[in-house]
Amino acid sequence: MVSVLLLALLTAGVASLPSPGARPAAEPLCVIANLPGDTVHADVGLIHGIFLLRKRFWPDGTPAHPVNLPAASPIRERFSQAVFGQSVRAQASYWSERYFHGTRPPPSVASQAAVILFVTRTKGSVGYVEASRTDTMPEGVRVLRCFGSGERG
């Protein structure tokens, strides 16, 4: 009887463990911006256009200043998949062509803290950070949109 109970407890414990190949769910990402108070949301098309430098201004006329994390950042990769539907690597040809025509990609900063600092100090700027970083945003910085893990726009 004790061995049956012990076997049941062990089996239940093993069943609740994640499988060796399973990844934990990624934390949602949020787009943050330094914009006037009336801008409270941005659709994925606007975010897409601003980060590809196809749209240079916010709807209110404020110049847009996107900022990225480094190309090797897993957070940037998740952002790229959510907004563009492709990897950072797949965008290399787009930026190579733009560079040939005199357009540099948005600047990159080293960390999420640096993204928040850049957005705080630059009117019209926009960046992205993990949702847990948005609990306490500096004055003037607002969350425009969040993307769940694996979600696209």
Give 13-30 pLDDT, tens digit per residue: 444 444 455 455 689 999
Is 6 inside any structural domain?
A: no
pLDDT band at 149 (very low <50, low <70, confident <90, very high): low
Share the mean pLDDT of the chain: 84
13 located within any domain: no
- Check which CATH number belongs to the domain holding 93 and give it: 3.40.190.10
Give percent of the chain above pLDDT 90.
65
The pLDDT value recorded for residue 21 is 53
Does residue 110 belong to any structural domain of this protein? yes
Residue 47 placed within a domain: yes
Among the residue ranges 3-17, 46-60, 90-104, the one predicted with the least confidence is 3-17
Task: For residue 115, give its domain range.
Answer: 26-147
Does residue 7 have a pLDDT over 60? no
pLDDT of residue 23: 53
Give residue 126's pLDDT. 98
- Inter-residue contact 39 to 58 (CB < 8 Å): yes
Residue 111 belongs to a domain? yes
Q: Which of 2-6, 25-29, 30-34, 105-109 has the lowest mean pLDDT?
A: 2-6
- Using the structure block, give the residue that is written with the tokens 């950070």: 129
Split into its structural domains, the chain has a count of 1
DSSP the chain: -HHHHHHHHHHHHHHTSPPTTPPPPPPPEEEEEE--TT-----HHHHHHHHTTS--B-TTSPBPEE-B--TT-HHHHHHHHHHHSS-TGGGHHHHHHHHHTT-PPPPB-SSHHHHHHHHHHSTTEEEEEEGGGGSSPPTTEEEEEEE-TT---
Provide the pLDDT for residue 15. Answer: 44
100 lies in a domain?
yes
* Residue 35 belongs to a domain: yes
Tell whether 8 is covered by a domain.
no
